[in-house]
A and B are shown apart, each in its own frame.
Chain A
């Protein structure tokens, strides 16, 4: 069973990476990042049967993921107000 969890997790990680690399929309990239974080969590849970350390890691990763999503969406909203687009190819200047 652990192999199955690991394979599902490898699949989710690769799919998340593909989504981050191909999509132009910033929110799609965020969705890909969430998939990759979930893949890592799945691995940690799969090996946490003896000790519970994997579960603690997963809890803190979920907290960090929530924080990251909230901040990133705030930044995306601000970028949209300024550039009128969230296409990652068109946002190419730093000076606001």
Chain B
């Protein structure tokens, strides 16, 4: 069981690293900062008793999506001097919209009555695997088909077409 101090620490770490993504101009540093955010979120999952989801988060996000993103960043890198000048736009409107959404959410959260909702139960990987193969079999298989489709579609889209003739 992870102590509460560790939870607060990683929650703050997630917030700080995502703030860094918002304010940095270097996209590669933003990708690395996203790694820190995702790892902190994974540790929050572990602290909430969702071990399987936390490990899945680490494998898929940090091992897969981040690698894809860095791959994309390196293949599409423009001259850094040109993009650094005006990397952001709509700053004021975005600030207003996000602050208002955050305050609405915060107001709603503080008004909620959680009662004695507990967080952090024991591990339940076995039940999760059993339910995936029985109760959630249809979405599981659909996810498999979706992944196969996406694999083919992504390779078809990204490949260069051969000239006919």
Residues of A near any B CB (own CB < 8 A): 1-8, 10-19, 21-25, 27-28, 30-31, 34-35, 38, 41-42, 45-49, 52, 54-56, 58-60, 62-67, 69-71, 73-78, 80-81, 85-87, 89
Contacts and interface: CB of A to CB of B under 8 A. Distances in A.
Contacts of B139: 56, 60
Interface of B: 4, 7-8, 11, 14-15, 18-19, 21-22, 27, 30-31, 34, 37-38, 41, 44-45, 48-50, 52-53, 56-57, 60-61, 64-65, 68-69, 71-73, 75-76, 78, 83, 86-91, 93-95, 97-99, 101-102, 105-106, 109-110, 112, 114, 117-121, 124, 127-128, 131-132, 136, 139, 143, 146-147, 150-151, 153-155, 157-158, 160
B88 A23 contact: yes
B151 A70 contact: yes
Residue of A24, A38, A81 with most chain B CB atoms under a 10 A cut-off: A38
The SS class assigned to the B binding surface is helix
A85 B78 contact: yes
B102 A14 contact: yes
Contact of B98 (A8, A14, A41, A59): A14
Contacts of B101: 13-14, 17
Contact of A35 (B21, B97, B143, B151): B21
A30 B65 CA distance: 10
11 contacts: A3-B112, A14-B101, A15-B18, A18-B22, A25-B83, A28-B27, A28-B30, A49-B48, A49-B120, A65-B65, A73-B72
Contact of A30 (B18, B69, B88, B90): B69
